[in-house]
C-alpha cells in the first residue's frame, strides 16, 4: 500500500455541521478557507504539507484510490458517512456513497475502512455528511495510482 494523504478536519464550534465539502478545487480555489464553513479547519497530518498544496496537486496530478481509512476521537464521529461526487466538463455527474466498515487489520472502534474506488481531481467533491461539535476527524486516502504527465494512468 502507498503512503497516504492524511487530511485532518476539525469542527471548532459547539454545533453539528453538515455536508463538509473537501477538494472541489476548481470551484473552491482562492475562496476564504477553501469554501468551508466558519469553524471548520482542514490541515494535513503530514508535517510541512498544507491542504492547499494537496488541492493544487490534485488538479495537476489526479489520483485513483480504492482504500480510505477514517479515524476520529469518538466512534460516533467515525461512523458518520461520506460520499464522493465527481463531475466532468460535459456535466456528467457520478455519486459514490461510501460505506465504512471495521477493518480486519485495524480492529479499533474509532478506525474504519472504506473500500470504494474513486478518482480525486479538480472536480471531485469529498463530502462528510456530519461533523460533530468540537470533533476532529482524520481521513487517510491511499492512492493506488497517481497521474503523471510523463506516465498517465487514464
Question: Could you tell me which residue, 121 or 102, shows the higher pLDDT?
Answer: 121
Question: Could you tell me which residue, 11 or 99, shows the higher pLDDT?
Answer: 11
Residue 24: which pLDDT band, with cuts at 50, 70 and 90? very high
- Distance between CA atoms of residues 86 and 91, nearest Å: 10
pLDDT at 149 over 60: yes
Residue 152: which pLDDT band, with cuts at 50, 70 and 90? low
Say what the pTM is. Answer: 0.90
Handedness of CA 108, 101, 79, 72 (dihedral sign): positive
Residue 148: which pLDDT band, with cuts at 50, 70 and 90? confident
Least confident of 65-79, 124-138, 139-153: 139-153
User: pLDDT tens digits for 35-93?
Assistant: 999 999 999 999 999 999 999 999 989 999 989 999 998 888 888 889 999 988 788 88
Report domain extents, the chain: 5-146
- Distance between CA atoms of residues 92 and 88, nearest Å: 6
Amino acid at each position: 500500500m502507498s503512503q497516504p494523504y492524511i487530511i485532518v478536519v476539525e469542527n471548532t464550534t459547539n454545533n453539528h455541521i453538515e455536508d463538509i465539502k473537501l477538494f472541489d478545487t476548481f470551484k473552491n480555489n482562492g475562496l476564504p478557507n477553501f469554501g468551508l464553513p466558519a469553524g471548520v479547519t482542514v490541515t494535513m497530518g503530514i508535517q510541512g504539507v498544507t491542504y492547499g498544496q494537496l488541492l493544487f496537486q490534485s488538479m495537476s496530478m489526479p489520483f485513483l484510490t480504492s482504500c480510505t481509512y477514517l479515524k476520529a476521537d469518538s466512534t460516533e464521529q467515525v461512523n458518520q458517512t461520506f460520499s464522493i461526487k465527481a463531475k466532468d466538463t460535459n456535466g456528467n455527474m457520478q455519486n459514490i456513497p461510501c460505506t465504512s466498515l471495521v477493518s480486519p487489520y485495524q480492529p479499533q472502534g474509532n478506525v474504519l475502512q472504506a473500500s470504494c474506488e474513486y478518482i480525486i481531481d479538480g472536480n471531485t467533491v469529498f463530502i462528510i455528511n456530519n461533523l460533530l461539535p468540537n470533533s476532529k476527524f482524520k481521513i487517510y486516502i491511499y492512492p493506488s495510482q497517481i497521474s503523471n504527465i510523463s506516465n498517465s494512468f487514464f
